[in-house]
Amino acid sequence: MLILIKELRNVLKKPFGNVYSSLDDLKKSLPKNKPKNSLMISVGDATTKNLLDAGIVPNIGIIDHKIGRKPSKYKIKYRANILYAHNPPGTITDELYKAIAESINLVEKYNSNTLIIVDGEEDLSVLPCILESPNGSLILYGQPDEGVVLVEVDKVKKKAENIIKRFEEVE
């Protein structure tokens, strides 16, 4: 299990990509032709729900039934395999990492969407998603009080690797 160290909290508050205050602006920025084998991953209940409502269906959605540490009122449903992972706040568990890797495998092998439901907190799942996703993939997550962040994984893999190396590793 990887544990977030205090010094990284401010680093992770900065978005990994461009922030869009509206879904219309975001939609205009999405590539028209997705590279082969690339994925779209949404992280967070509000982000996933808003994308689905806008007709944008992520290959992988990661939710924890919370928004800002409070229970989410959203019922997120779409045709997807469902995986579960336990992941306490401030951590990246092996279980979460494996669920992300398995969901990517399901999409690549069977062209099957996956929803990962996290017992705990899904916030830090953006990092393993960046590291595990094929080139050309996009990750979308909410930036509190600002909008949706669009992450192009090719541009931030090195940064994510350097950040995750600084986490404390425990058995």
pLDDT at position 108:
92
pTM of the entire structure?
Answer: 0.95
> Is 97 in a helix, a strand, or coil?
helix
Per-block average pLDDT, block size 10, for the chain (171 residues)?
Answer: 94 95 90 83 96 94 91 88 96 98 95 96 97 96 93 96 96 82
Q: How many CA within 13 A on the CB side of residue 2?
A: 17
Longest dimension (CA), the chain: 44
Cα–Cα nearest to 63, from 157, 141, 146: 141
Domain ranges of the chain: 16-23+37-166
